[in-house]
A and B are shown apart, each in its own frame.
Chain A
Amino acid sequence: MRPLGKAASDDDRPLIERVRKGDQDAVRTLYERYFDRIYNYVYARLGRAEDAEDLAIDTMTRSLTRLDQFQDQGVAFSSWVYKIAHNATIDHYRRHGKVTLVSLEQATLPQSADPSELALEQLSNEDLRVALRALTDEQQQVLILRFFQDLTAPQVAGIMGKSVGAVQALQHRALGSLERALQGRAVN
């Protein structure tokens, strides 16, 4: 797996202070730290490179020009950036509708000897992404943040505004739904 770069963390505050003072190097560092991650998050949600680019740029612009609002939130900068990306994605859905580029029915999924088991090794990354987009909004969000973005359950809880326990339960249900989606069953 190609790493996404430095994991989102709470040590962004010194950089943020520098951004406030007009330090362009700090802006650049934060941009480099988050742009790919946010692009990847949005792409996983939308599946279209053009939209993902626009929304990632929009998210970074909002994040770095509205630091006064961030100060008031009392959360990690990373959580704040992901929330902005999430809201941008929801807005995009509202404006353009939720588009599934490749339906699960059209996707050719490999079969294992045991129908209850998926031949996971044979699934392509795109198969997984397509299946994931068939889940509910929250289920998609928790799986993308936990596994694509490699965030911890407490970090995801901070972003989603839920307890860690609720995130773990949601993650469990989401994995079950994804498994059923990949098996071609009805998605909950």
Chain B
Amino acid sequence: MTSEAQRLERLAERLRVVDPVAPSPGAKIRGWNLVLAAVERSATVRSRVHPVRRLVIAAVAATVLLVAGAVAASADSLPDSAFYPLKGVIENVRGALAFSPSDKLAYHLDLAQARLTEAEAMLAGHRIELAERVLAAMDNQLNDAAELVQLEKQSDPALGASMENRLTQAIATHDKQLAGLQGQVTNPTALSAIIAARYHAAQALKLAAKPAASDGNPAGSLGGNGQGNGTSATPHPTPKH
């Protein structure tokens, strides 16, 4: 009678000589084709989204989202908002992309309207100082628009006349709004700022209505608020003074 250890050793030896079962050649070929296809697919995916590239893509996406979000947030921002300076940057870009005199005029008029809307909001919130500043910025835009009309009247009288008409209508609309504001406010500083804004708007209108100067220069700017070249005006929401 053999010991348990001997019996188990014999059993182990018997197991060692059990022939392995081989897969069929067809299975092996099928397996290879499937494995190769999976490896190639996996390599494509890996190369498509390499870890470092994935980080770069994520960073770019995050930046784009942040910028897009900030731009969207700045679009309607007011002078007391953190996004307001960005609004000025965007307006500058837009100004740089306005090439024709007609586009430039539309740009200045849009910005003048934007400043007036901001002034209304600031007055409603009793932010008198900020209202004063944006009203001055509005006048700057109107003055630049007037200078632009003056220049255009010299080079293309017909177009100049059309632009003058647009400026006149815009200033008339602004003046109505300012008159309405004037009737609502009681703060003396705010009141004088509105009156000054109406005065400067009227002066801009006069400047635009002047006959074209023969020396090619604008008939004269009002109070030095405008830039005088019609293109590099002060689109920044924050007025310069």
Question: Residue-by-residue, is B13-55 near A (CB-CB < 8 Å gives 1, otherwise 0)?
Answer: 0111111111110011011101110110111000000000000
CB contact between B7 and one of A31, A49, A117 (< 8 Å): that residue: A117
B10 engages A65 (CB within 8 Å):
no
B10 to chain A, nearest CB (A): 6
CB contact between B18 and one of A52, A53, A129 (< 8 Å): that residue: A129
- Given A57-B35, A61-B34, A176-B8, CB of A117 within 8 Å of CB of B15: no
User: Interface-forming stretch among A22-30, A70-78, A98-106, A156-164?
Assistant: A22-30
Question: Residue-by-residue, is A1-32 near B (CB-CB < 8 Å gives 1, otherwise 0)?
Answer: 11010000000000000010010100110010
A16 to chain B, nearest CB (A): 12
B101 to chain A, nearest CB (A): 60
User: At the interface, is chain A mostly helix, strand, loop or mixed?
Assistant: helix
Bound together, the chains give a CA A125 to CA B18 distance in angstroms of: 6
- Given A176-B8, A179-B8, CB of A125 within 8 Å of CB of B19: yes
Interface residues of A in 61-99 (CB under 8 A from B): 61, 64-65
Q: Which residues on A sit within 8 Å (CB–CB) of B7?
A: 116-118, 179
Q: How large is the interface on A (under 10, 10 to 19, 20 to 34, 35 or more residues)?
A: 35 or more
A39 engages B21 (CB within 8 Å):
yes
For residue B2, CB closer than 8 A to chain A, the reply is yes
Bound together, the chains give a CA A57 to CA B32 distance in angstroms of: 8
Chain B residues with a Cβ closer than 8 Å to the other chain, count: 32
Q: Which residues on A sit within 8 Å (CB–CB) of B22?
A: 2, 36, 39-40
Q: Which residues on B sit within 8 Å (CB–CB) of A175?
A: 8, 11-12
A128 engages B15 (CB within 8 Å):
yes
For residue B156, CB closer than 8 A to chain A, the reply is no
B16 engages A147 (CB within 8 Å):
yes
Bound together, the chains give a CA A143 to CA B11 distance in angstroms of: 11
For residue A56, CB closer than 8 A to chain B, the reply is yes
Bound together, the chains give a CA A2 to CA B38 distance in angstroms of: 30
A65 engages B42 (CB within 8 Å):
yes
For residue B215, CB closer than 8 A to chain A, the reply is no
* Smallest CB-CB A-B distances: 10 pairs: A147-B15, A65-B42, A57-B31, A53-B27, A175-B8, A39-B23, A40-B20, A120-B14, A61-B38, A125-B18
